[in-house]
Amino acid sequence: MTDDIKICVRNLYKIFGDDPQGALEKVRGGMSKADLQAETGHVLGLNNINVDMPAGKTTVIMGLSGSGKSTLIRHLNRLIDPTAGEVILNGENILDYNERRLREMRKHEMSMVFQKFALLPHRTVLENAGLSWEIEGKNRKKYAAEATKWLNRVGLEGQGEQYPAQLSGGMQQRVGIARALTSNSDVMLMDEAFSALDPLIRTDMQDLLIELQAELHKTVIFITHDLDEALKLADHLVILKDGFIVQQGEPQHILLNPNDPYIEAFVSDINRARVLRVRSVMEKTDVMPADIAGEVDYDDTLESIIAVSEGDTTNNYRVMREGKQVGVLHMRDLVRALVPRHPGEAA
C-alpha cells in the first residue's frame, strides 16, 4: 500500500446466512447473487471487493438499494466482519485488531456521520458535538472550546445551548458533521448523510463538505444512491451492483467512458454540460495556440464555456490553471463530449 492510500480493501466478501463459508465456495465458483439465495437461502452482500481509498480525498460509493454500499462502509470500521478478505488502514489489517484496539480506532481514527443524524435528544448541541471527548472521560470544560470551534465552522455559531429538537434537519446534520470533526479523526465515514434532507438544504450541505475538504483534507468515504451527488463530491467513484464493483475511477472518466450497460444507464440522464469539466475534454499542451477566442479555467464546466462561446463551435480556448497554460479547449471536442458513448466505444 502506497503512502497516498489510506484504506485498502482486498478480496472482500460478505455472505449472510447460516453457512457463509460453504456459500462462499459457490460464489467463488461463479454462482450469482440470485441463484445463491434461491439455492441456499444465503444473501450475497459483497462479492470480491477491491478498492484503494486515497488519503485526503473523497471516495464516493454509490449504487441502488441492495447494491451493498452500506454493507461495505460498515466493514471499514468493523461494525460488520467479512466472510473473507482484508481491510487495511494505515498499513494494518483491522481484522487483526482486538477489542481494545478496535475501540481506539473508532474513537480516534474514524468518525461516522449518519443519515438519521443520531444525536442524543437530551443533550445540548455542544454536548453532542463533544461526545467523543466525553466518551474519553473528559468533562465539558475540556472539550467546549474545540466543539464550539467546529460548530462555528459548520455555521452553527451561537447554537451550542440549543437541543436537537429545536433545530431543523439541515442544522441537525451540521451538528453531526461538527461532532465528527471534533473527534479529530483522519477518516470520516458518511452513510447517506444528506439523503434525508430537502433538496436545497442538501445542496448547501454538499457545498459545505466540499469547502471543508478543501481546507482539512480528510479521508472521506461517502455513501449515496444519487449520481448527481456522487459526481459533485467524488475524487474517486465506486459504483456497485448486486454486491460487486461494476466500475470505479475518476468520475469524469467514468462519465465519458462507461464500461458496462449498467453504467451507461446510470449516466444517460445526466446533464453532461453541467457536470463535465474543461480538464476532461481539453488537449493537454503548454503550446500557445495560434488562434484563440480567450482563456478559460481548467475546472470550468462545459455549460459555462458554451455560454461564453455563444454556441460558436469554431472557437478555441487557452486553458489555464493557477496562471499557467495546461491545455487547449477545442469547441468541437466539447460538442463531442456531450454525446453519450456506449460501452467499448473509443473516447
Read off the pLDDT of residues 149-162 as tens digits, 9 standing for 90 and up: 999 988 889 999 99
Residue 2 has a pLDDT of 53
Do 54-83+93-267 and 272-337 fold alike per CATH? no
- pLDDT tens digits, 160-175: 999 999 998 888 889 9
272-337: CATH, from 3.90.1280.20, 3.40.50.2300, 3.30.1280.10, 3.30.1950.10:
3.90.1280.20
Residue in 340, 324, 337 with CA at minimum distance from that of residue 278? 337
Cα angle 203, 198, 276 (rounded to 5 degrees) comes to 30
- Domain spans in the chain, listed from the N-terminal domain onward: 54-83+93-267, 272-337
Model confidence at 343: pLDDT above 80: no
Residue in 80, 31, 1 with CA at minimum distance from that of residue 244? 31
Give residue 345's pLDDT band: very low, low, confident or very high (50, 70, 90). low
CB 182 within 8 A of CB 147: yes
Residue 205 has a pLDDT of 87
List Cβ neighbours of 257 (8 Å cut-off, separation of 6 or more). 341, 347
* % of residues, the chain, pLDDT over 70: 97
For range 187-216, the mean pLDDT: 89
Residue 1 has a pLDDT of 47
Model confidence at 224: pLDDT above 60: yes
- pLDDT tens digits, 275-313: 899 999 999 998 888 889 999 999 999 999 999 998 888
Give residue 109's pLDDT band: very low, low, confident or very high (50, 70, 90). very high
Residue in 341, 282, 332 with CA at minimum distance from that of residue 311? 332
Residue 140 has a pLDDT of 80
Model confidence at 143: pLDDT above 90: no
Q: Would you give the DSSP letter of residue 105? A: I
- Report the distance separating Cα 285 and Cα 331, nearest Å: 16
CATH 3.20.20.450 for the 54-83+93-267 domain, yes or no: no
- pLDDT tens digits, 233-255: 999 999 999 999 999 999 999 98
